[in-house]
Structure 1
């Protein structure tokens, strides 16, 4: 995990041509997407289409990612961030456990102070269709951004906590970052993708966050 100081970020949605500013509080984010090895250690499951211990876990739904966060919190002696109630998930913002980043946190961390579409030359920082051989690669194989975070673009799309647009798309959640099968235009810091929280597909994974100001258990 890397501890990140808070700041401001402006998000943009090309579909609606809307932009909005978000103030991001200090938080911590995992250096890499969750690997298949880590996922198996915590859950005992190996769901990925492409097998490799240091490959990012894929074929996991948003709900799978939420359950992983709670399981990792339990195994680490932390208070889980999520309450699962039938088909709904509630986020306990006072909990000190692991969680998915918000999309504002994700973009803020991805940009790492940069203002362009990417934090570096795409071929040097990301696995995407032009250089991936149309398959995922071990995490950490490309250059990190200036805050030490790897694979923020390319390799696998990453689930975020947020609803995409509840009025139009209901329960669909946000995905960020682009993946190994995507063209260059999808691997940009601002690109937003959406999908149903039950979707499992071979170019989608996640990384975990923790709130810096979360209260300890008890």
Structure 2
């Protein structure tokens, strides 16, 4: 969150988070509407999964970019329990690297379960845990699939947890 705010301010954008980690809109007010967040932020769990699956170019792979785990992921069987520089394995359909394995990736959602109904890019702030996606070098092949998820305490850190950033992009007509 600190990195996202630092990068936002460096690029002349409003910060995406307040000091407690709550989302801010472009005017500095609290929001849960991601379309109103102008700065860099952590992706929601739904955004993360959409990107890992290859977006609208998805080929329905089990892992991010392949059905062969060794082609796209660092995990317990090939990592020697150490993370690697991003980009050494093949990317997924969108050209994104290491969305399976290497490190668990922190999502912005504070929730511990999926909702019952169909939603488009839900943003959860109801749980006490942060969502982790993608698996790490310490996991077996089942835990580095696109659908694998875990939870962590909001302030817990270790060498198998990382993050990637997202930014809302407005296109013609104001849609994201």
Which TM class, normalised by the smaller chain length?
0.7 to 0.9
CA distance in 2, matches of 1:157, 1:165: 16
Instruction: Give the alignment partner of residue 204 of structure 1, picking from 149, 161, 166.
Output: 161
Q: Which has the higher contact order (CA 8 A, sep 6+)?
A: 1
Map of 2:141 onto structure 1: 184
Query: Contact 1:175–1:193 at 8 Å: present in 2 too?
Result: yes
Q: 1:36 aligns to what?
A: none
> Could you tell me how far 1:207 is from its partner in structure 2?
0.3
Structure 1 or 2: more strand by fraction = 1
Q: 2:17 aligns with which of 82, 94, 103?
A: 82
Paired with 1:131 and 1:73, the residues of 2 have a C-alpha distance of 36
Structure 1: tracts of 5 or more residues without a match: 1-65
1:79, distance to aligned residue in structure 2 (A)? 1.3
- Counterpart Cα distance in 2 of 1:162 and 1:140: 26
Counterpart in the other structure of 2:37: 95
Which residue in 2 is equivalent to 1:137? Answer: 84
The answer to whether the Cα contact below 8 Å between 2:15 and 2:24 also exists between their aligned partners in 1 is no
Q: Which runs of 5+ in 2 are unaligned?
A: 26-33, 114-125, 172-176
Deviations 1:13-39 (A, max 9, x none): xxxxxxxxxxxxxxxxxxxxxxxxxxx
Across the two proteins, how many residue pairs are aligned to each other? 145
2:23–2:37 CA contact under 8 A, matched in 1: no
SS at match of 2:3: helix
Shift, 1:109, TM fit: 0.4
1:73 to 2:5 alignment:
no
Instruction: Tell me the residue number matched to 1:105.
Output: 47
Q: RMSD value over aligned CA atoms?
A: 1.8
